[in-house]
Structures are given as C-alpha cells and as structure tokens.
A = this chain, B = another copy of it.
Amino acid sequence: MREQFQEELDGVSATLVQMAGLVKVAMEHATTALLTADLTLAEKVIADDSIIDDMQHELDARTIKLITLQGPVASDLRTLVTSLRMSADLERMGDLAHHISKSARMRYPATAVPPELALTIEDMGRVCVKIIEKVATVLQNRDAERALEVEKDDDEIDALHRKIIQTLLDPNWTHGVETAIDMTLLGRYYERCADHAVSIARRVYFLVTGTYADSDK
C-alpha cells in the first residue's frame, strides 16, 4: 500500500518535470518565432499550449484523488498540495510563451522585435529557458542548492528587463509607440515567466529544507 502510494507520488513529480520540459520547449520556440518571424513555429506554440493545459488538469485531478483516497500524512500532503501550486505556475508559464507567440503572429510577416532590441530579447529568452531547465532539475532531484541559484538567474532577467525599458526611453528610439507597447508587454511576459520559475524553486526549497529561501516573497 505504502509502496504503491510512493509510486504515485513519484508519478506526480515526474509529470511536473515533464510539464517543465514542455514549457521549456514552448519558450524556446516562442523566442525563435518572435525573432525570426516564423509563423509556423508561432502557430505551433499557440496550438500546443492546450497540451500543457490538459496535463495540468489531468495532474491536478490525479493529485486530488491521491489526497482523497490515501489521506496522506502531513509531509506527503504538503508535497501534494505544493504540486497543485507548481502545476498552476507551469501552466501560467505556458500561457506566457503562448502570449509571446501571439505577438510574433500579430506582426508577421514583419519581425516584431526591432534590430536594437533583438539581442536583449534573445538573451531574455535564453536566460528564461536556462531557468526553466534548472527548475526541471530542481523538481526532478529535489535539489535545494540548485533552487537557490534560480534567484540569481532571475536577477539577470530583471537586468535585461531594465535594458529593454532603457532602450525604449532612449532619444534615438525611432520605432514609435506601437513597437514600444509590444516590447513593454514582451519584457513583462519574460519577467513573469521567470517569476513563476522562482516561485517553483522556492516551493521545492521549502519542501526539502522546511525553511524559506528568502524573506522578500
């Protein structure tokens, strides 16, 4: 009985890792679609978001069933409740990749990102994907040390976000208000995606150590 329950718990955790993998690919593709005006890729990310949504629904149903049927002890219950929260974070990260892809699609056949911001957006995408990969490892290995690293990676995202705003405010900005609106929202999407990743890392840290990684959240 206990053995079977442990298997089910491991299954929940494995699905979270799998979701993180899909979110990583979605964010990778969304950034490429955005920077290269690749409509096919943008459409793929938009369509595939429902796979992540469905995984969340299926996982949450499974998690709630485990809580109901097994009446788990406190620490297992905490893991299961936390997994409900992490699946919500991952689902939202998928939504943000979906938003980025919609921005690519809206401006097609033009490239949504002007040349002077291409590198910064590329960096944001790259750091965001790195963070999601790290979070997948943190989930897989319940690795508290690696969870702490995610906070530092998030500082990189914040610095890149500030760089976008500075570029928009530069007197040499010639792309007008419409592109500024797009870039403001894109910056926000990447930033929020990283925030959700940090929140997952913090939850794992707490599950493993019983203490909070940081007092500012």
Contact = CB atoms under 8 A, between A and B. Distances in A.
Contact of A68 (B77, B180, B181): B77
Closest 8 A/B residue pairs (Cβ):
A184-B184, A71-B71, A177-B180, A181-B184, A168-B177, A68-B77, A180-B180, A68-B74
A105 B184 CA distance: 20
A208 interface: no
- Identify whether the interface residues of A are mostly helix, strand, loop, or mixed: helix
A178 interface: yes
A188 interface: yes
Contacts of A78: 64
Contacts of A51: none
A85 interface: yes
Interface string A67-107: 11001001001100100110010000000000000000000
A188 B178 CA distance: 15
A185 interface: yes
A154 to B, nearest CB: 16
A167 to B, nearest CB: 10
A69 B178 CA distance: 55
Contacts of A165: 181
A84 to B, nearest CB: 7
A47 interface: no
B169 A177 contact: yes
Contacts of A71: 71
A77 B81 contact: no
Contacts of A74: 68
A51 to B, nearest CB: 16
Contacts of A177: 168-169, 173, 177, 180
A77 B67 contact: yes
Contacts of A64: 77-78, 81
Nearest to A70: B71
